[in-house]
Amino acid sequence: MNANQASAGHLLRLIREGTATTRGALQRATGLSRSTVGHRLDQLFAAGWVREGAAEPVEGSTGGRPSARLEFDAGHAVVLAADLGTRHARAAVLDLAGTVLAERSGELVISDGPETVLDRLGRWFATLLEQAGAAPETVCGIGLSVPGPVDWDTGLVIQPPIMPGWDGYPIRDRMRQAYAEHVSAAGGDVPVLVDNDANLMAYAEQRIGHPDCSAFLLVKVSTGIGAGVVVGGRMYRGIDGGAGDIGHIRLHDCPDALCMCGSYGCLAAVASGRALAGQLAAAGVPTASGSDVRDHLAAGQPDAVRLSREAGRRVGEVLVTVVTLLNPGVLVIAGDLAGTPFLTGVRELLYQRAMPRTTAHLQVVTSQLGDRAGLLGAAAMVVEDRYAPDRADARLAALTA
């Protein structure tokens, strides 16, 4: 690393990643002098971001005093995170390592619109902070996972098929307002970050379950169908947040299937939880939503099992192209339909139609984190943003101003 780039924020990143966890290791990694490393560590100590843990032996040493291990203090602040579904939401207070300190889930209907949903979420956060025993001033940010495409730079949801009333709505500003109203009058400046649910689920699943996978793909199949891609440890969002929106790829043989986006023949109109709910209802099996389909699958309902496997095959048709393009090491199937029948259908098509070279090292598995994946991804997104080197340096400068 260039010594000119080794600011306190860069040292923090080395410590957080485990690349350099002693003073000596930081000197070797950055080329900085001992006194400069000490000065920058003093900034991090003063902010409460880094602490000295148990001493560890010096590599190659046959004696002498062991070096104190430097650790990121995950308890000095908390994150508020929420994962919004179409009819259900999950919210939590987490420490900076992703440990859930207080959590709540319940009905929260996305079609009620952003004013209602975000106001209620503000109330949830107020209660959760009390339950966690966390002061509002310790909140370093709010992360929101939403079931629609998000322009990362603006935080705006763009033309979401299943989020009526949310298109172009200023979510960040309204969430800050709700936080200030229900949690802290001084909380209007708390940062709010918003991203697509499949992106955040992929981010969490890759970091926690498959940290060594450099090309990672997650497909969420619930009310709609979406995909999240993580390459080199970073989410790939595309130019304006549209990457991974595979639910609206057209199937050539389904011209009459009307999608919620208004088009015909979309994959989501044929193979999503909402589509299967309609197919089951038409067959005389009472089913109103993707979560009902999930319940039928858990009970082994024959029609649900058959239709889920067929849906997996239809999704597999699309994933043949996606997998051939990305060449991922892991493909995770998540969401309401993420069970054995659907997974079997996906595997059948993938291994039948993709080149053996493409799938030779591909794992096709289900989610490890389950219903918490989007929540944990939203929290991790906030932490990575707030403690990124440049952001951390700016915050440190503000603390000492």
Q: How far apart are CA 25 and CA 379, in angstroms?
A: 29
Provide the token pair at 223: 């009310």
Burial of 38 (0-12, 13-18, 19+ CB in 10 A): middle
| Per-residue pLDDT tens over the stretch 150-169 | 999 999 999 888 899 999 99
What pLDDT was estimated at residue 63? 54
2 has a pLDDT exceeding 90: no
**Mean pLDDT score, 18-26:** 94
| Per-residue pLDDT tens over the stretch 84-96 | 998 999 999 999 9
What pLDDT was estimated at residue 225? 95
| Per-residue pLDDT tens over the stretch 97-133 | 999 999 999 999 999 999 999 999 999 999 999 999 9
- H-helix or E-strand containing 309? helix 302-326
pLDDT band at 67 (very low <50, low <70, confident <90, very high): confident
| Per-residue pLDDT tens over the stretch 211-245 | 999 999 999 999 899 999 999 999 999 998 889 99
**Mean pLDDT score, 57-76:** 75
What does the mean pLDDT of the chain come to? Answer: 92
What pLDDT was estimated at residue 62? 53
12 three-state secondary structure: helix
Q: How far apart are CA 287 and CA 294, in angstroms?
A: 10
Alpha helix ranges (H) inside 104-216: 114-132, 171-182, 197-209
What pLDDT was estimated at residue 189? 82
- Domain 78-198+374-400 class in CATH: alpha beta
**Mean pLDDT score, 314-324:** 96
133 three-state secondary structure: coil
- Domain 3-72 class in CATH: mainly alpha
CATH code given to domain 210-369: 3.30.420.40
What pLDDT was estimated at residue 197? 96
pLDDT band at 25 (very low <50, low <70, confident <90, very high): very high
pLDDT band at 275 (very low <50, low <70, confident <90, very high): very high
Sign of the four-CA dihedral 332, 336, 340, 342: negative
327 has a pLDDT exceeding 60: yes
**Mean pLDDT score, 240-266:** 92
61 has a pLDDT exceeding 60: no
**Mean pLDDT score, 176-200:** 87
Which residue type, as a one-letter code, is found at position 125? F
**Mean pLDDT score, 246-263:** 92
**Mean pLDDT score, 6-35:** 94
Instruction: Write the CB contacts of 217 (distance below 8 Å, at least 6 apart in sequence).
Output: 202, 227, 228, 229, 322, 323, 326, 328, 330, 331, 332
Q: How far apart are CA 276 and CA 296, in angstroms?
A: 11
Instruction: Return the axis-axis angle of helices 290-298 and 302-326, rounded to nearest 10°.
Output: 110
Contact predicate 57/66, CB 8 Å: yes
What pLDDT was estimated at residue 185? 59
Let me know if the fold of 78-198+374-400 is the same as that of 210-369.
yes
What pLDDT was estimated at residue 214? 95
Burial of 153 (0-12, 13-18, 19+ CB in 10 A): exposed
pLDDT band at 287 (very low <50, low <70, confident <90, very high): very high
**Domain spans, the chain:** 3-72, 78-198+374-400, 210-369
